[in-house]
Structures are given as C-alpha cells and as structure tokens.
Structure 1
Amino acid sequence: MSIVLVGGGHAHLKCLLDIRKKPLPNQNIYLISPDRYQYYSGMFSGYTEGLYSIDEIRIDLKDMSEKAGVTFIEDKITEVSVTEKTLLTKAGTSISFSVVSFDTGSFIEGPSSFKDYLVQIKPNYLFANKIKEYRNVEFPVVVGGGASGVEIALAITAWREKNGYPTNVTLITSSKLLPSSSSKASTLIKEIAVRKGLSVIEDDSVGEMNESHVITQNGTSLPHSQVLWLTGPSPSGIFKKSSLPCDQNGFLLTEKTLQAKGLPFIFGAGDCMTLEAFPDLPKNGVYAVRQAELLWNNIIGYLNGDVCSTFTPQRHFLSLLSTGNKKALLQYGRFTIHNKFAWMLKNKIDTDYMKKFQN
C-alpha cells in the first residue's frame, strides 16, 4: 500500500503534520514536488516590499517529510495512469500508488504570442528570485486587477519609493480593481493606489506587445521592461492529458469529499481542483486551508472503507490585502477598512501560519 501526495500546498502541509502526530505503520507515503521548498503566496507582497526574508516565506518540504517519516522526491509528475495506478515523473520514474492526492496549485499563463516579454513567477518557487530582479527594472508593468495583481503592483511601488527608484509602476486591468469585491472596496483600493503613485489603467486590456512597448486595446502605448502577468489561474495540463475528470477549464473535478469524480482513489485540494457542487468557488487559499482539515482523514477513511467527510465552503471569509508601507485593506462581507491595524493582523496570521510548518 502506498500513498502519494503530489505538491506541497496548504492541504498537503497539514497532511504532513497529521502523519507526524499519528504515524501510519506499514504504509509507504511519498511527497513529490518539483522544488525542495514551498513558498507561501500570502507573504509574497511583503517579500516583494522587502519586509520578509526568503526563509520567512518558505517551508522546507524535505525536512517536514523526513520528520513525518514520509519519503520526499524532488521531481515533477507528467502523467497519471488510472488503470495501472502509476505516476510518471519528468525524470522518467514510474511510481505506483494505492491513493494519490493532488495539491499542486494553479498556474498563470499569458497569451503565447506575448511569452517572450513576460516574467514567469509560477510555479511559486520561481517567484522569489524573479521578483527581486523585476522590482527595480526601468519600466515595471503589471497586468491583472485581482488581489494578487493589485498587491504585487503596490508592493513594487512601495519598494521603489523606499529604495530611491521612480514610482512609475503601471497596472492594467480589463475590469475595475478587485472585480470580485464590493464596489466600496473597488473604489477605495483605486484611491489608495493613485495616492501611492501607482498608475492604474482600468477597463482596458493588452492588445499588442513588443520588446519595448505595450499597446492596449484602447490605444494607450506605454514602455515596459518585461511584463508581470497576474491574471486568473490556469490548470496543470496533466489532468486532461491523463484523461482524469476535469471541469471545462481543465481543473481536476472532485466531489465534496475531495475525491475525483468517479475515481475515489484520487484526491484533490486547493487551486488545482474544482468542486463539482461549487463550480464558481474562487481559487483562494482560504478554502485550501479549510480543505486541509479533512483531506488526510478522508484518505485514511477511504483506505479503511469508511464514509468520507464532505467539504462545505464558508459564505464569508476575512480578506486582508497588503497595500504597502505596513498598511492593508481588510474586507469581511460588506465591511471594508484600510489601516495599519489590518496589516498587523495580516502579519500575525501569516507568521503564525508559517511557524506551524517551520519547527
């Protein structure tokens, strides 16, 4: 019997803690990830701004695995065979499984015609080095008006201001800023961005790009030194390639028990999957953390022939978006506020979360 955890996301980190507390005798357990470290995206803006060191934003998967008695393999899964219950890796290894769980996150893919001009920061382990190179370029341009695009654009702006660079960052979004938030939050974040010196182009999108300029659909031309593309999430290609159940976008499709539809020995959690019962649920770390609470219990339950627990997402959750200079935008339902206390709360939540996995 062997259990394979693919990826080091929120849910699999919790699995490692669960295994450490209550080891499974006579079970071969593996964790496979393309990098030894898992980088925590909740602290990416703080790292970009220079508030956190690299060691504060990453978790040593190899060390965590060894402490839990789990075999760590630094490799990437390229294909899944459902009939043979095997995983094929980039290094050419074939790994058998009784149960496999995917917690690999999502990717960000810009249009292929622009790929030579884009900065690649996903998978997450690419982020730290790429953003350090990018935050001091001559003409920084960020595309994407969601939380990650806004947060990173503001963090680059804050870093440049502190380090004597021109605050000439441009953010381009095809909608308003924070389109999935309340109109109050959207209006407030626009005011904050403009006040901090971030140039915002709303309700417009990139039409053309060459090695020196971005031209928007509405005809605005602006210089760039490569573009940070932070639009919506894209799935890993292995689910479709392996003929696993997928939603219309290619994310692994699961039941409320986090088991792949029709394949109960395959589990999924976090941004790499879509819950069939909640197809419009945002790809958000808040839900991944909640799914982590039941994933390992369900894996063990399945192996023991027990009924698996179901996941129901909460209707409202606390959202904290860093805006630079140790301030943050706090949202809960329709309540929105921007101040230093919100950043202090975000910092405490993030650092407390990381401590659980760094000891």
Structure 2
Amino acid sequence: MEKLVFIGGGHAHLSCILNIEEFLELGMNVTVISPSEYLYYSGMGPGLLGGFYEPSECRFNIKGLVEQAGGEFIEEKVTQVDPENKVLTLESGTQIFYDIASFDVGSYIPSENLQIKESKVILVKPISNLVEARQEIKNLKSDQTVDVCVVGGGPSGTELAGNLWRTLSKHKLNFKITLITDDLLLSEHPIKIRKYALKSLKERGVEVKENQTVERIENNTIYLENNQTLQGDLIFLAIGTKPRNIFENSGIPTSSDSAMVVDKYLRSIKYPNVFGGGDCIEFEERKLDRVGVYAVRENPILLHNIKASIRKKPLKAFSPQKKYLLILNLGNRKGILWRGNLTYKGKLAFRLKNFIDKRFMKKYQLKR
C-alpha cells in the first residue's frame, strides 16, 4: 500500500484532512504529522487575545479529524526531508517513508534577528502563545500597573495593540500600551487605512512610535537605535514571519527565505510527488503575500491535485487572485476592510470578519 503523508496540519491542508476517507478509498495509507493535535486559526488570534473568542472557538482538532476519518496522526515535528529516498526524519529520530508528501508547516517569527536577554517576550506565533498571554493578563491583580509593548507595525501588530487595549481594559488594569515600528504603521497599505488605524489606536491611549528600530531587549527593557529605552512588563513580537527551514540541505529547490518553490499545481518544481501550501511555499509564477486567504484558496487545489496524482489524471492549476479582501479587528468592535481600492471602516467590517471567520471554523469541525 502506497503512503501519503501530510506534514503540518496547516490551513492549506484542512480540506485534505477532512477528506482523508477519499484517499483511503484510492488505496493510500494516510498519515498526518504535526507538532500539536490542535491548529489555531491565525485570523482569530488577536480576537482571542482581546476576549472576543474562547480558545475552543478558534482551533481545529487536527488529531480528532484525522483519526475520525481513519488516518494515522503523529504528534511530532519533521526536522529533515530526503526527497531522493522519500524519507522524513522526525525530531525523535524516527524515520517515516512516503510515496507522496505534502507540506504545510507554516511560518515563524524570526526573533533571532533581535538580541533578547532575560526578558518576557511573547511571539505572536504560534497562536497558543496568545492563549497563554491572555491567561497571564487574567491573573494580574485589578489594581496592578502594567507596561505593554508591541514590536511591529504591520497588520498583526496593529490588531494586537487594539485587542490588548480591550483585554487590559476589561480586567480593569492600570496600563500603558506602546507600539513600536521601524517604518510607518501599516506602511504597505493604503493611506486611508493607515490614518484610520493610527487615529483609532491613539484615541484609546496607545502610543505609536513610528520609524523606531529596536536594537535589543534586555531585562524587560527595549533599547531603541536613538538611545531611548522603554520598559515592558509584557513584550509582544509581531515583526513579520519567515518560512520554517525544514527544506534546508534537502535538495528541494527553495526561495531566498527557505520556502519551497512550487509550480502552478502546488508541486515542488523538482519533485512531482512533493506538494505544498501556506506560508512554507513560494509560488514560482509570481511572488504572493503570505496571507491566510491564499492558504485557504489552496485547499481545494491540493485536494484535487493529490487525488489526481494518485489516479494519474490531469492536475488543476492554482490561479491566485491579485486582489484579496483583508479585514483587521481593531479590538473595539470596529474593523478596517480593504480590497484593492475599496476601503471601509466601522462596526460592519468587524461583523463581516466575525461572520467569515466563524463560517470558516464551522466547516472543519469534528462530526458529532
């Protein structure tokens, strides 16, 4: 019996995991390897921190989905890939053989770019870190004073700052939130969006320090390039993401930042039995933003193409849209929405995001 192995229970693998029975019917032995039995939906992470959602509302039971469908789940991390011999090496040293493999191992916050010493620093990925941070805030005494810093001024940092305001206010804490970015807030997004986000945060007392580079973090003190220092009882890092270097020294062609290069069928450009999706791939035809919308849209393509590969039938090309909808949850039941030149701000944007996210979560839940 040939073996199909999914490495990572990421967003782009959800349709495949939900339809494991179809692979079994094709005579495949199916294994899913992931470092956690749960996958938290990153789009709901800031709202989870802000108290809009409970942890159980924001996660998929990957282990349960796999085993319910008759597949094998291994709670481990793949550390090496040998595509010539079709072998995966796990952190424990165990080796797993495959005939077809698909990778969706996501990305991480590259904290190695900062000097961090003896400080309480919370990386915004994995999302389970935000679950722990929320509990830590809940455990603080109501009259306690807390200085919170968010390093990073992209969508993630902006959402975090707004949702930290909500959860700290909810627990009646004395607090100050400072967001630090080495560029302008939301610098790569439309000026209308940037101005509204800046206004929204500042009106709630969040200090936004733009064009400020963090040199190092030591003893819970942030040292900036201009010799300023900031104290942080809680320091969140939202400084962008980088693909995991799982393909290093494997012979699988990768991009400059270690992502596996895939063709229009989401296959490795060198190994046609190796597929991939999500943040760990680089689309050969054109560079794509690493946003969840692409991982979600890769779902049906991976499902179709892996089945077609088994059947030796024609594959379907992935055609990523050039414009996509993005909505930020600002933590005050308001949101910012944009798609191309269309922008909107207000309560309706938050409600739309909430509806879309909950609908997505509902689609990939265990059958009762």
Q: TM-score range by the shorter chain?
A: over 0.9
1:121-140 aligned at under 5 Å gives the runs: 121-133=124-136, 138-140=146-148
2:65 equivalent to 1:64: yes
2:211 equivalent to 1:203: yes
TM-score (norm 2): 0.92
- 2:318 is matched with which residue? 311
Q: Which runs of 5+ in 1 are unaligned?
A: none
- 2:184 is matched with which residue? 176
Q: Whole-Å Cα distance in 2 between the matches of residues 21 and 126 of structure 1?
A: 34
Q: CA RMSD in A?
A: 1.8
What SS does the aligned partner of 2:79 have? strand
What SS does the aligned partner of 1:156 have? helix
- 2:363 is matched with which residue? 356
- 2:277 is matched with which residue? 269
What percent of counterpart residues are identical? 34
How has the CA–CA distance of structure 1 residues 115 and 98 changed in structure 2, closer, same or farther, with 3 Å as cutoff?
A: farther
Asked if the contact 1:259–1:268 (Cα under 8 Å) also holds between the matched residues in 2, the reply is yes
Asked if the contact 2:115–2:216 (Cα under 8 Å) also holds between the matched residues in 1, the reply is no
Of residues 231, 252, 255, the one that matches 1:247 is 255
What SS does the aligned partner of 1:358 have? coil
- Spell out, residue by residue over 1:61-103, the C-alpha distance to the aligned partner (whole angstroms, 9 max, x if none): 1111122221111111011111210111112211110011011
Following TM superposition, by how much is the alpha carbon of 1:354 offset from its aligned partner in structure 2, in angstroms?
Answer: 0.5
What SS does the aligned partner of 1:5 have? strand
Asked if the contact 1:146–1:177 (Cα under 8 Å) also holds between the matched residues in 2, the reply is yes
- 1:5 is matched with which residue? 6
Q: Whole-Å Cα distance in 2 between the matches of residues 243 and 133 of structure 1?
A: 43
How has the CA–CA distance of structure 1 residues 303 and 230 changed in structure 2, closer, same or farther, with 3 Å as cutoff?
A: same
Q: Whole-Å Cα distance in 2 between the matches of residues 86 and 212 of structure 1?
A: 43
Q: Whole-Å Cα distance in 2 between the matches of residues 247 and 229 of structure 1?
A: 24
Asked if the contact 1:37–1:125 (Cα under 8 Å) also holds between the matched residues in 2, the reply is no
Partner amino acid for 2:84? T
- 1:347 is matched with which residue? 354
Task: Report the more deviating stretch, 312-321 or 32-41.
Answer: 312-321
How has the CA–CA distance of structure 1 residues 8 and 219 changed in structure 2, closer, same or farther, with 3 Å as cutoff?
A: same
Following TM superposition, by how much is the alpha carbon of 1:286 offset from its aligned partner in structure 2, in angstroms?
Answer: 0.3
Asked if the contact 1:211–1:226 (Cα under 8 Å) also holds between the matched residues in 2, the reply is no
Following TM superposition, by how much is the alpha carbon of 1:123 offset from its aligned partner in structure 2, in angstroms?
Answer: 3.1
2:168 equivalent to 1:160: yes
Asked if the contact 1:235–1:250 (Cα under 8 Å) also holds between the matched residues in 2, the reply is yes
Asked if the contact 2:216–2:223 (Cα under 8 Å) also holds between the matched residues in 1, the reply is yes
Task: Report the more deviating stretch, 56-65 or 220-229.
Answer: 220-229
TM-score (norm 1): 0.95
Asked if the contact 1:167–1:198 (Cα under 8 Å) also holds between the matched residues in 2, the reply is no
- 1:75 is matched with which residue? 76
Asked if the contact 1:48–1:132 (Cα under 8 Å) also holds between the matched residues in 2, the reply is no
Q: Whole-Å Cα distance in 2 between the matches of residues 234 and 179 of structure 1?
A: 19
Q: Whole-Å Cα distance in 2 between the matches of residues 308 and 352 of structure 1?
A: 28
Q: Whole-Å Cα distance in 2 between the matches of residues 196 and 243 of structure 1?
A: 51
